[in-house]
Amino acid sequence: MATSPTHTETTDVVICGCGPTGAMLSAYLGRANIANIVLEKEADITTDPRGIALDEDGIRLVQGLGLYEHVFSDIGTCTPKVRFVSGVHNDLHKQAFLNFDCSCTAGHTGHVAMLAHKQPALEDRLRYKIREASSCELRGGCRVTSISEDDRWVYTRYLDAEGVERRIQSRFLVGADGKTGFTRKQYLEPRGVEMQWAEKMRYRETWVALNWKLRLPTPKTHPSFPLWRLGYSPEDVFDQFFPVDFRFLCNPQRPAVCGRFGPPSDRLWRFEFLVNAGESDVEMATPAMIRKVVYPYLRHPGTRYGLSDPVEFPNDCIEVLRCRPFRFSARSCDRWALGRVVLCGDAAHVFPPFGGQGIASGFRDAISLSWRLAIACRSETANHEQLFTGWYLERKQQLESSLATTIRNGDMVNSRNPFKIFLRDWTLWFVQLLPGWKRWLELGPRIDAPTTYKYEPGMAFMPELEGGVLFPQMYCVALEDQTEVPRVEFSDDAIFASTKESRFQIVVLLDSLDELQAAKQELKALEGTSSDSLSVREATFFVPRLSVPPRGQKPISELDGVYRTASAEQFASSYLCRGRPAPRGYHEDDLWKSAKGRKFVIVRPDRFIFAMCDAACELERVRSRLADLCH
């Protein structure tokens, strides 16, 4: 080892780990101009796709970093449906007893319900945002060797890529280094932080997860393949053996999950199956056992095609990218912060794979922690322990909601009781005879109201002013855009535009454009009370699309910062809809519904409502509460 230098660097935040959670946290800190250094033990992004599912909240937070154009191009694709299939069989085309419609836009974000992504591509784009920000720095090939702290600083020692020991002092340290990372295992657990079993789901099982990269057989490469003479094209063959929808195979003998992921051109496929009691997890991941467990799903009876012999997908068109056992469990730490050291992502909580919530939960951790860190770093008097306690209490509630989704899916996949299976299948079959109930089931948890926190002391919102609710997102058009085909935007991108400086943003919801001048006058009277946390000058105004007169009837100078809603049809014809399904189930009035008739909504950087007011004069009360929070 080289001689240790005497120099100690100083920064605001050190982040241990640059997986999806650590990268997103760094990028959002960069947007807030908070200096941070990310220490990652690997030299490069792993090429092994691990997590493959991202829900609509996750898509929204990726969008918030300015990466939306990559979501449906090089990161992933929308999964049309998630199908739950019952029975002991190897037929991926068997009718499902329950379908989740993941391509509709019936949630509260304007996005589809599920993105099947390629994690290396997602991480690459997140790291690009780190490199782009002058306040962020990523250092690969670094291994943390010690952490210590006092009342003002956290001191980190690490070995860099050349084996030189280096030192950093930072205001805070965040461990995003996974469930076996140094921060929790070596530093916080000896100080009493415990990873505990989730109370509602004491799940601990081993599954084998494999990733395949596939190539198309063709009449030239496989001239004897029997489906060519029946008129099948290479794409038809691919669709037959690897259906586009995701599947939970609720097989009581061996539960499994499978589906495509990543950009369609990559032709990636995931298959996971349970290792039963008494089986060796290492042996179950061998090629011989994969042929026994997985290949039967790729062997179709000839009768399906009117042939006498079975039809099997060519084995030489399969490239194995990964095949290894994983221990899945549902656990969460009893504390996510101690002193100036914080845990997030898999370092703080782990999920089984049945809800696709692992990466999305880490993303929620990152954005809700980032603005609190920004406050703590900019103010010597801010109570960081209270900030982190409130963060933990909020995230714990949302984590329980995510866990509930995982439990529902996991119960269906893992059920082995014949009576329960019979009752489940026939009950769901009967219920779906009623169109309204069928649609309700297809939407699943997306039909619920936006996430709402139940207030506990320390949480960063005003319950007496209806705070603590996730603010929806809609499609909108700037009224100052007077072009023939105006540009459609997401409302988040208007509210949290990169040119704005305040951490919290004021949204003004008007019933018509006639109310605009009065609302602006109300805010103008409060300009002297603006702060770096809340500025009335940065307020964003929204009006319903149908209340706006034809183009050119209002002076453009009056419309700066004013937006109208956009219809689903307008979004579908815009560049934002490239690569994804046209919106279905989208509601233009979601912002107004969430505001419950209030005109002024104060939104936190993590898209949760801090408070709502009927009159601008109440904003002084909000500003005072924000001052208490920030100082």
Task: Decide which of 376 and 327 is more confident.
Answer: 376
- Mean pLDDT, rounded, for 290-312: 96
- Can you read off the two tokens belonging to residue 276? 């039963």
Spatial distance between the Cα atoms of 36 and 172, rounded to a whole number of angstroms: 10
Cα radius of gyration (the chain):
26
pTM of the model: 0.94
Which residue, among 414, 452, 438, has the nearest Cα to 330 in the 3D structure?
A: 414
**CA-based torsion, 175, 176, 182, 185: positive or negative:** positive
101 bridge partner residues = 81
C-alpha distances out from residue 449 to 106, 109, 290, 590, Å? 11, 12, 43, 10
Q: Tell me the three-class secondary structure of 105-128, residue by residue.
A: CCCCCCCCCEEEECHHHHHHHHHH
Q: Reduced to 3 states, what is the DSSP secondary structure of residue 420?
A: helix
Residue 3, pLDDT score: 43
In total, the chain counts a number of residues equal to: 631
Residues 390-438 have pLDDT tens digits of: 999 999 998 887 777 777 777 777 788 888 888 888 888 888 888 888 8
Residue 524, pLDDT score: 87
- Can you read off the two tokens belonging to residue 146? 């010690």
Residues 255-290 have pLDDT tens digits of: 999 999 999 999 999 999 999 999 999 999 999 999
> pLDDT at residue 145 above 50?
yes
In degrees rounded to 5, what are phi and psi of residue 589? -100, 20
pLDDT band at 493 (very low <50, low <70, confident <90, very high): very high
Spatial distance between the Cα atoms of 105 and 92, rounded to a whole number of angstroms: 26
> pLDDT at residue 514 above 60?
yes
Residue 6, pLDDT score: 63
Residue 154, pLDDT score: 98
